[in-house]
Amino acid sequence: MKNISIALDGPAGAGKSTIAKIIAKHKNLTYIDTGAMYRAIALKILREGIDVDQEKSIQDVLGVSNIDLEGNDIFLDEHLVTEEIRTPKVNNFVSHVAKIPLVRMKMVELQRNIAANKNVIMDGRDIGTFVIPNATYKFYLTASIEERARRRFIELKDKGFDTTFEIVKEEIKNRDKMDTEREFAPLRKAEDAIEIDTTGKSIQDVVAEILHCLK
């Protein structure tokens, strides 16, 4: 039987990972958080103080880095980094790393390998357009900038980070800009993706909308 693959794309704070985890449980799919993979390699580049313009250093670090997804956890070189990849420092750095073609090619190769011969739901920015262009289902989640910033602000506050709504909003705007304007596989809705605006909708509403499309 043919494997099922669901591509879930959209900007930061649109609700992708929350929704993907629930759909994965409902449909018994493997959840692949591709953003976490970019975050993990960004964390390593940050820790090692590598300049993102130094192609050779980036290539070297990619060659010796191990990124593993296990359930909802992520390991960098066999160490759990699930929490550390979500700090404001990584939030603000990751888009600089994600625009490097060398990094993207390596991550996409890993993503395709993980997805091979499995039923998957993969969330990210370029899943429906680049990683699995022949996905069984494609969704594009959006929400207003205000709502996305509010969600991320609450998330960061709950984790004890000292920030403001305005700062978070600016950071998300910058990230959107970099993710949509980069040359290699930018954030874009696939032509055949179903677009869902999650502004003002509950998680359950969005899950129900997606499950309805999967029938």
Minimum separation from the CB atom of position 208 to ligand DC (A): 23
35 binds ligand DC (CB under 6 A): yes
Q: Which is nearer to ligand DC, 126 or 147 (CB)?
A: 126
151 binds ligand DC (CB under 6 A): no
**Nearest CA to 142 among 71, 194, 87?**
194
**How far apart (Å, rounded) are the C-alpha atoms in residues 162 and 120?**
36
Q: Which stretch binds ligand DC (CB under 6 A): 31-39, 73-81, 138-146, 193-201?
A: 31-39
12 binds ligand DC (CB under 6 A): yes
198 binds ligand DC (CB under 6 A): no
Residues paired with residue 67 on neighbouring β-strands, in sequence order: 76
Q: Contacts with ligand DC in 62-121 (CB under 6 A)?
A: 94-95, 98
Helix (H, G, I), strand (E, B) or coil at 73: strand
Minimum separation from the CB atom of position 187 to ligand DC (A): 7
The site for ligand DC (CB under 6 A) is made up of: 12, 34-35, 38-39, 94-95, 98, 124-127, 175, 179
